[in-house]
Amino acid sequence: MFITCNQSDLIKTLNIVIRAVPSRSTIDILSCVVIKTIGDTINLVANDIDFGIESVLSGTVNEGGSIALGAKIFTDIVRKLPNDTVTIKTDDTLRATITCGKSVFKIAGRGTDDYPDLPEVKKDKKITISQFSLKDVINKTIFAASTNETVKILTGEYFEVSDNRLRVTALDNHRIAVHSIDLVDNNDNVKAIIPAKTLNEVSRIISGEVSENIDIYFDQRFLVFEFDDTVITSRLIEGDYIDIHKMISDDYETKVHLNRISLLEQLDSASPLITESEKKPIIFDITDKNMNLSANTSIGSLNSDMDIEKEGRDIMIGFNPHFLMDAVKAIDDETIDLYFTNQKAPCFIKDEDNSYKYVVLPVNFSTSDVE
């Protein structure tokens, strides 16, 4: 193999595909990035079995072929090269010679016969979404996905497309995040659980431009993201997702309207007092026009007030402030509505047209927790 490209194109494409190189793997060759030519096209590939990326590198094929190069050393070398023409040439002993300006590097490579192929995906169903919307909907929900591998389906996000509306749901034992967006026409109806790890990587790789679209294809077991010169393939999580929309009701006894940033600052100011080990709550005492926040822990205490508008009954309720902050941070609106039923029932935050809904479970508290 003998190829010619620019250092800036090479590092850009490498930075995309190396996101699929596993940090640890029992299969040694997965620590490599594959460079392979297909006709006049140069492709870079990395593959973590459940998750793979293939991206086209702009450049010239002088002589066809393929090589697997250690992802770390190859990236380290390319990153430090000047922005100039780079040639990569392999010899019969699978040694790669990387030349740029007056510098000549030689590193050992490997054959690509043992490198696993990315799965063939049947493209049964297709949806199209702007890169901006996909990145946005991921960032606004993914924090609620569970990190506990024992309940596999909760480590993913549930993507439901119905009548050109996408609803994304993530949840763990403490909270639920749901966001919905309208897609443009001609999308297939889809129900799929996508690993949160895959969505995190996709969110990092895509530009987030409103004008750039991304096509997502699904079959029974895999999905494929196609955009720009890149194809990302991921296994889906098998199983049935929890139908939370039947479980959570929109009924409430108390509705609170308040400034989102003020609430965020109040919750954040309490966080130095709250430790994971002690698990003390922050307590809201909600009366007309005022919400009193208090916490009382082994570190110290806080008592604070904020202006609100309230409909319905007074209520006193405790929360883990971090779970509430995650939800409040993910919203863009200047003011938000919080809905409460009683001390034991979930609180929810939603907008009027149901584009988002966050549910947070309350925490029990005793009178000594109130400052």
The contact set with a copy of itself (CB under 8 A) reads 73, 76-77, 80-82, 102-108, 265-266, 268-269, 271-273, 299-306, 371
Query: Shortest gap between Cβ of 266 and a copy of itself (angstroms)?
Result: 8
Query: Shortest gap between Cβ of 163 and a copy of itself (angstroms)?
Result: 45
Query: Shortest gap between Cβ of 271 and a copy of itself (angstroms)?
Result: 7
Q: Which CB, 107 or 210, lies closer to a copy of itself?
A: 107
Query: Shortest gap between Cβ of 352 and a copy of itself (angstroms)?
Result: 29
Q: Which CB, 278 or 351, lies closer to a copy of itself?
A: 278
Query: Shortest gap between Cβ of 113 and a copy of itself (angstroms)?
Result: 22
Q: Which residues of 274-296 are buried (b: 16+ CB within 10 A; e: fewer)?
A: beeeeebbbbbbbeeeebbbbbb
Q: Which residues of 68-103 are buried (b: 16+ CB within 10 A; e: fewer)?
A: bbbbeebbebbeebeeeebbbbbeeeeebebbbeee
302 contacts 293 by C-beta, under 8 angstroms: yes
Query: Shortest gap between Cβ of 95 and a copy of itself (angstroms)?
Result: 9
Q: Which CB, 83 or 249, lies closer to a copy of itself?
A: 83
Query: Shortest gap between Cβ of 246 and a copy of itself (angstroms)?
Result: 40
Question: What is each CA distance from 185 to 132, 165, 189, 225, 326, in whole angstroms?
Answer: 17, 9, 11, 18, 32
Q: Which CB, 77 or 361, lies closer to a copy of itself?
A: 77
Question: What is each CA distance from 268 to 135, 322, 365, in whole angstroms?
Answer: 25, 8, 20
* Residue 5 to residue 81: CA distance in whole angstroms: 13
Q: Which CB, 82 or 116, lies closer to a copy of itself?
A: 82
Q: Which residues of 132-156 are buried (b: 16+ CB within 10 A; e: fewer)?
A: bbbbbbbbbbbbbbbeeeeeeebbb
Mapping DSSP to helix (H, G, I), strand (E, B) and coil, where does residue 80 land? Answer: helix
Among the listed residues 68, 28, 25, the one whose alpha carbon sits nearest the alpha carbon of residue 50: 25
Q: Which CB, 108 or 247, lies closer to a copy of itself?
A: 108
Q: Which CB, 141 or 266, lies closer to a copy of itself?
A: 266
Q: How many CB atoms lie within 10 A of CB 235?
A: 17
Q: Which CB, 237 or 295, lies closer to a copy of itself?
A: 295
Query: Shortest gap between Cβ of 65 and a copy of itself (angstroms)?
Result: 19
